[in-house]
Chain A
Amino acid sequence: MTLVTNDAVRGGTLTGNEREPAEKEVVLSVQNVTKNIHGRTIIRGISFDVHAGEIFGFLGPNGSGKTTTIRMLVDLIRPTSGDIYVCGYHVRRDPEKALRHIGCIVENPEMYGYMTGWENLEHFARMQHGIDIERIREVVEIVGMDARIHDKVKTYSLGMRQRLGIAQALLGKPRVLILDEPTNGLDPKGIKELRIFIRSLAEQGMSLFISSHLLSEIQLMCDRVAIISKGEVIAVGDVDSLVSRNESYVLWQLDGREAGLRLLEGDPNVRIVPENELRLDESVTALLPGAIATTMAHEHVASMIRKLSEAGIGIMAVQKVAPTLEELFLTMTEGDTVE
């Protein structure tokens, strides 16, 4: 089990890199980075690349090293070993050039509460060459903060601060925008707006690096994903191909389960998935009590339905379910603990 997933993952990484157009520009490159803090190894030799114009998810449970990694990307802490390049500039050796291409929010969007949103933006604009008032107006408009921008930041809600943080990050027209758990504390409406906003930024050619501990979020938002667990990147690849790598299930809820099961078992095109192998969200199985899980090519589904009804077995529901990233993640981290 463990071996299979790990192989699949490695295959995913390789094919991902080989098959994707090789000319795709790498804007953020993390190469074999390790970090020890107080004698403990927090990050164990992680590597991944982020390409221009993609939304890159950085997925891992809390405490897996996501924020530590992000802090290294933006030169807040130095890697114990390994290299990080932003648009070809080494973050540690050439921070002035590397950081010019990065906009970021590390953890919470903390700004100076005793100044207005506008004054905060002016403050950060002065720290980088070539940002004028026009650009400040532009980013204020992009994040839709015109109405409150001249209020003190300490009067802002979390959502407003988030927007101001993004406005600040966008000031220098960065190639890469790094957002650390951006949906934390936002309501569903805010999360949806953020998702649309992130997509529109990517369409304009910006790369986004988004960390999250929520798999559904990454699945909805991201093109590619690196999965980190206990300081190690255990998979890098397309979100879609990582998901479709696990075959999708076809669930059958039948009136006359025993007869149906015999019929399904008898068909050479169908494989019954045993209970212990099944990885499905409970919200799916709860709706289909007693359903038989199978894997089969989807062109056989229609003939199977005919076969079942000819045999007088009532079909209450047939559902195709793609295993989610969560299931994928579960198998991978389980493999982790087995090792």
Chain B
Amino acid sequence: MNSIMPLIRNETVKVWKKKRFLVVIAVLLVLIPVFTYAQMKISLSNRESFTDWRLQLQQKITDYQNQLSSERIPEEWKRYRRIAVQQMQYYLDHNVNPDSPNAVTFTRGFMDASVSMFIPLLVLAIASDLVSGERSTGTMKMLLTRPVRRWKILLSKFIALTLYVSLLLLTTVVLSYLIAGLVFGYGGWSLPVFTGFVVHGSEVDSSAVHPVPQWMYLLMMTGLVWISAMTIACLALMVSVLVRSTAASIVTMMAAIIAGSILSAMASSWESAKYIFSVNLELTNYLAGSPPPIDGMNLLFSLAVLGFWAVSALIVSFTVFTKQDMLN
């Protein structure tokens, strides 16, 4: 009887009218130029010291190797360095510049850097008050006393959220490309990027490595970022259903995300930490071939963990939302 389309439209209109998405765009418009400027400074200083990127890369490899022979560096770091050296060597051997300055490379770097904290933060800005916001202002009462089943209302909110998360990633990519292009030029789509490094301990297995054009790499990467972002969105929706105050729901989610990124940085020997969702957010690392924070993690594992958390969050959200008494 009641189709879901008008409901999705309602939810989309509400997020838009709340000007949440405009805030997100404003944040991007401030941050991307800042990073572009920083990147430009780095390129300029590199250009002063090295006439050729090959020399620069060789220098970096030598630096890392020197560090490897040092006594004072912890073994954990050395492992990262060893892997990085092998990968840089691979790029050098195949005569491909891994950091060629152009807008697409910048976009790739920006997405890579923002997947664990920045993108989740922007997702929270949209997702955290979808339900709790309507409860604290009291409009939830109006919404739920209309002749529509509760699960349809929550589903429409979830679909609207999915739309906004997708739009958010698209906007991030487009804005990075457009803004960085002003400085670095708009080329770089077809540059090759190597993917398929397999890390075993501190050895890199490069038998499966193959070059892909950078546009394709960016596409794959954005897909992975989308999966991370949607996991955050599902969890934020759940917290928003469970917690009445929007502030509390943002704090809860941020705490979980930051905890995860600290845990991954600790490269912990606490192995079961790998089942925590926020340790698995950096899916793009698997594409680049960086070592995972905890042994035994790989792309499929992380996808499964994120999927499990997302689906559980949705089940909890829908169960609680359709059953709970609206007392305020």
**A interface list, Cβ under 8 A from B:** 37, 71, 74-78, 95-100, 102, 104, 106-108, 110-115, 119, 123-124, 126-129, 168, 172
Q: Is B325 a contact partner of A106 (Cβ separation < 8 A)? A: no
Q: How large is the interface on B (under 10, 10 to 19, 20 to 34, 35 or more residues)?
A: 20 to 34
Listed stretches B8-16, B94-102, B162-170, B281-289; interface member: B8-16
The smallest beta-carbon distance between A42 and chain B, in angstroms, is 10
In the complex, 22 of the A-B residue pairs with CB atoms within 8 angstroms, ordered by the A residue number, are A71-B326, A75-B144, A76-B141, A76-B144, A76-B145, A76-B325, A77-B325, A96-B147, A97-B147, A104-B145, A106-B141, A110-B137, A110-B139, A110-B142, A112-B14, A112-B139, A113-B137, A123-B14, A127-B147, A128-B147, A129-B2, A172-B147
The smallest beta-carbon distance between B202 and chain A, in angstroms, is 55
Q: Is B147 a contact partner of A77 (Cβ separation < 8 A)? A: no
The smallest beta-carbon distance between A122 and chain B, in angstroms, is 9
Closest-by-CB residue of A relative to B144 is A76
Q: Is B327 a contact partner of A37 (Cβ separation < 8 A)? A: yes
Which of B9, B143, B147 is the most central at the interface, judged by chain A CB atoms within 10 Å of its CB?
A: B147
Chain A interface SS verdict (over half): loop
Query: Which of B1, B13, B142, B146 lies in contact with A111, CB distance below 8 A?
Result: B142
Closest-by-CB residue of A relative to B324 is A77
The smallest beta-carbon distance between A185 and chain B, in angstroms, is 15
- Return chain B residues, CB-CB under 8 Å to A99: 145-147
The smallest beta-carbon distance between A274 and chain B, in angstroms, is 47
Query: Measured between alpha carbons, how far is A77 from B328 in the docked complex, in Å?
Result: 10
Query: Measured between alpha carbons, how far is A97 from B146 in the docked complex, in Å?
Result: 10
Q: Is A127 a contact partner of B146 (Cβ separation < 8 A)? A: yes
Given contacts A75-B144, A111-B142, A129-B2, contact A95 B10 (CB under 8 A): no
Q: Is B9 a contact partner of A126 (Cβ separation < 8 A)? A: yes
- Return chain A residues, CB-CB under 8 Å to B146: 99, 124, 127-128
- Return chain A residues, CB-CB under 8 Å to B325: 37, 71, 76-78
Say if the beta carbon of B258 comes within 8 Å of chain A: no
B1-45 CB contact bits vs A (8 Å, 1 = yes)?
A: 110001101100110011100000000000000000000000000
Q: Is B17 a contact partner of A119 (Cβ separation < 8 A)? A: yes
- Return chain B residues, CB-CB under 8 Å to A124: 142, 146
Closest-by-CB residue of B relative to A152 is B17
Closest-by-CB residue of B relative to A71 is B326
Query: Measured between alpha carbons, how far is A95 from B148 in the docked complex, in Å?
Result: 8
Q: Is A107 a contact partner of B138 (Cβ separation < 8 A)? A: yes
Q: Is B326 a contact partner of A76 (Cβ separation < 8 A)? A: yes
The smallest beta-carbon distance between B32 and chain A, in angstroms, is 27
Say if the beta carbon of B149 comes within 8 Å of chain A: yes
The smallest beta-carbon distance between B252 and chain A, in angstroms, is 23
Query: Measured between alpha carbons, how far is A35 from B80 in the docked complex, in Å?
Result: 61
Closest-by-CB residue of B relative to A74 is B145
Q: Is A126 a contact partner of B17 (Cβ separation < 8 A)? A: no
Closest-by-CB residue of B relative to A76 is B326
Which of A100, A106, A124, A127 is the most central at the interface, judged by chain B CB atoms within 10 Å of its CB?
A: A127
Closest-by-CB residue of A relative to B148 is A127
The smallest beta-carbon distance between A130 and chain B, in angstroms, is 10
